[in-house]
Structures are given as C-alpha cells and as structure tokens.
Amino acid sequence: MQSVQGLPQNVNGKYRCGCVNSLVHWQGRPLAILCKCVHIRHMNLDSAILHHLSQRDIPDQGGLLDLLRADGFDLTVSTLSRHLKKLKVRKEAGRYQPRGPQRPLAPRYTLRKVPPCLLVLKTNPGFAQAMALALDGADLPSLAGTIAGDDTIFAAPTDAALLDRLEGEILQRLGEGF
C-alpha cells in the first residue's frame, strides 16, 4: 500500500501510529486518510513531541524519533534533544516525561504546645515570617496573633482554654498549604 501524507502503512492496514485508516471521499475520489492522529500532521514539532509522550511510554529518543518521522517530521537526534531540553522533558523511571509546573516545596514544620497559652511552630529557615503572615491573614477564630523570627513562630490563642482548638486550626491550615 502507498504512503499517504507521510504515514507508511503496515500490512494490516494500520499506520505506524496504530490507528486504522478511514478514507474521506470527494466527488468519488479519495481526498484524505484520517486517523486518531490526523491532528498531529497539523501541529508543530513541540506539540507532536508532547502528544506522543502523553499517549505512550517512550523509553528512548530513537523510539520517539521514529514516531515523529512517521508523522512527517524530518529531524536528527540532536534536534530532538534540543527540543526535549526546551520542553523540559526528562527521562524518569525509564521513560521520557514532560515536567509539569513545579509546586513550591512546602516547608517542614513541627508544632509544640507550651501550656498554658503558647504554640511554638518550628520551620525551615526563612519561612517563619511568611507562614505567620498567612496564619494571621487566615482569620482563625482562636488565634490572637503570632510573632515570627527566621524559623520559629509563637502563636497565642485568644483564651488559654482555646489552646487545643488553636492547635487543630493551625494544623488544618498547614495541611491545606499556604
């Protein structure tokens, strides 16, 4: 069988992309062959790379290069490598994966009750002031206020009897993230 739009057919009538062909006719003549991957031919190289990575596990650049060549892209391994670097695609767990948006790391912390009316929150250096500001801005009902240093926050309840409740509110807020 002949190749249509750069997709060579295998013996079973399927393209290398794995889709079964579907002919579109116009005035009795075959106009185009469509498959699930028809949109790949209309996208740029970066989009095609990300599409293939999202559809299957690709363990090496050679396999990705073959898929892209089947889509009609003529490129070398070094060109593919540059595009993978630009797209922040890395090989992790034996397959190429795009790196998603990075969430900032949540700071580690410990919370300790100091009766009768103080909670001490220890965190990574540089995080205490931002965390204290977030706690003050969260309008926690049991929180009278906070004092923050570089890695330590003192939190005071509105009443000494509310120390346990304040601890729960702070832990809940920390669990939700800042």
CATH numeric code, 109-176: 3.30.1360.40
Stated pTM of the model: 0.44
Which helix (H) or strand (E) covers residue 70, if one does?
helix 61-70
CATH numeric code, 22-98: 1.10.10.10
| Per-residue pLDDT at 163 exceeds 90 | yes
The single residue listed with the structure tokens 């890395």 is 90
pLDDT at 99 (0 to 100)? 77
**Domain limits, the chain:** 22-98, 109-176
